[in-house]
Amino acid sequence: MFRALVAAIHRSDIPHVYTDGQRVYTANLAPGVAVYGERLVTQDGVEYRTWDPRRSKLAALVRKGVGVFPFRRRTDVLYLGAAQGTTVSHLSDICVEGTIYSVEVSRRAFQKLFEISERRPNIMPILGDAGAPEAYLRIVGPVEALYQDVAQRDQVDIFRKNLRFLRPEGVGILIVKARSVDVAAKPKDVYAEVRRDLSTANVDVLEMTELDPFAKDHAAFVVEKH
């Protein structure tokens, strides 16, 4: 029997996220269609998609436990590093009446993302460089949530540049890949440096969660904009 995931992550208002006690799911916005080969399960007339924490850093964060989960039914999201749309598609299930502005620089990955968006009207695919947000200033409106998963050395700088889109009191989630920042440094030292860098931005760090064993040497920083 499915139950709302709120008990597992100590929240009472997370829409469209479910668990069977071992795995997590989202309610499929495009029934009958799997995005990345995930298992589809139907119960009581509702189709659910398995949300794989080894394929999605956000699912890993949910599995590890997150205190602040900013995604709601009507949440508008700026997603940086959308890739082929794995996590974007689950946010599409959750933010069913919002818009997920999805930025990806790789043309090959963008093609898959674009195909997914044809079945999911709440996804707005943007072919662009997250490090140059001026290119999509006229496309992206103010958002309640900013999510970034960009495996580059200047991850924090990219995140800071895009904070302009986040509304005051909006929540950002920065996925940090330690080895992309400094391949020789210990991940914990990298995370400490990231926290220091974020402290000089217009945000408060609410929580930091290491994503092992689902994503080795990755951590998620959850911040709130002033």
Domains in the chain, ordered, with CATH? 3-51 (3.30.200.20), 57-225 (3.40.50.150)
Following CA atoms 175, 118, 69, 10 in sequence, which dihedral angle do they give, to the nearest 10 degrees?
Answer: -120
Structure tokens at 35: 């995005």
Residue 28 backbone zone (phi > 0: left; psi -120 to 50: alpha; other: beta): beta
- The reported pLDDT for the residue numbered 21 is 81
The pTM of the full predicted model, rounded to 2 decimals, is 0.93
Q: What's the rounded Cα separation, in Å, for the pair 27 and 94?
A: 8
Tokens of 110: 């963008």
| pLDDT tier at 14, thresholds 50, 70, 90 | low
Question: Tell me, what's the pLDDT at 179?
Answer: 84
Cβ atoms of residues 106 and 99 within 8 Å: no
Tokens of residue 113, six digits: 């993302």
- pLDDT-wise least confident of 67-81, 132-146, 173-187, 209-223: 173-187
pLDDT surpassing 70 at residue 11: no
Cα gap 135→49, rounded to integer Å: 34
Q: 81 with 103: CB under 8 angstroms? A: yes
